[in-house]
Every structure is written in C-alpha cells, then in structure tokens.
Amino acid sequence: METAVKLFFSSPKFAVAGASQNTSKFGYRVLAWYHTHGLPVTPINPTSSEISLPSEAYSTVASPSALENPSQTALSVITPPNVTRKILEEAKSVGIQAVWLQPGSFDEEDLEYAKANFKAAVGGPGGRGGEGWCVLVDGESALKAVKRDWKSQKL
C-alpha cells in the first residue's frame, strides 16, 4: 500500500469527490488539508458551485469528467458507499490513474474495483489510524516521503 500512497502523491493535481461546505464533514476537512499543504486541488460537488475555506474559495466541478486534466489528477473519494462505485467508474473512464478511498466511503467490492482498475488505489486496512488509510492521518508522512524521493532523484 505504501507504493500506492507514493504514486498517489506523485500526481501533479488532486480532486476531492464529496467535498463539502459543511466544516464538520470530512469532505470539507480533506479539501482543507490539500489547501493547507499547498497542493492544487479541485472540489467535486454536483450541488454547489463553490466551496469556501477561510483563506480561499474554490470553484467546484460536478463530476470527475468535468476535471480540467483528469489523467493528471489523483482523486480522493469521500462519498457515501452507494455513490462511490459510480465515481470510480467515471474516474476510470476519464483516465484518472490514482484514487484514495477514505474510510467509510466504500465497501469491499469498491475497494477491489479500485485496485483492479487504477494504477494506484489507496484504502482499506492499514495506515496509522484505527479506521484504515486516511489522508488526514497518513497524508503528511506520505507527502514527506514523496518529497524526499523527488529530492534524491534531482541530486
């Protein structure tokens, strides 16, 4: 799974399916995490045109197919399990290479689908938290590992 995590964070762009304006929801918190870490992120929310963080407002797109460069975008999925498969199928159809399924966003079939259809699929048991791989818990160390790899390759 560590290899998938590194591949995920090697993407030049990121998107959050299930991004929310509600500050108590994980969709908001994960979007804010990408923003705080200076990563280029696009929120995906079919019912809202904009999501505002304290220091920036982000225009949303309605679905993965509306992303500017989906093949260059890693996708965090924070949707209810009954929506996740549709998001994954659309992500695959537009060329997204890496997905991160947040805890609670998928069932076992969705995880297997992601592992079979994407170059990198993060999710399920593991990570540092007790609920499985989570951007909010595991993202920091993974991002640092990718940056170390970039620096060593540039030497």
pLDDT in tens, 8-26: 999 999 999 999 999 999 9
Give the list of residues 6+ apart from residue 120 with CB closer than 8 angstroms, or none. Answer: 3, 4, 5, 7, 8, 74, 97, 98, 99
Give me the domain span that covers residue 124: 2-154
In CATH, what number is assigned to the domain containing residue 114? 3.40.50.720
Distance CA 85, CA 27 (A): 17
Is the pLDDT score of 106 beyond 50? yes
Q: What is the pTM of this model?
A: 0.92
Distance CA 112, CA 123 (A): 10
What does the pLDDT read at residue 155? 42
Q: Provide the number of structural domains found in the chain.
A: 1
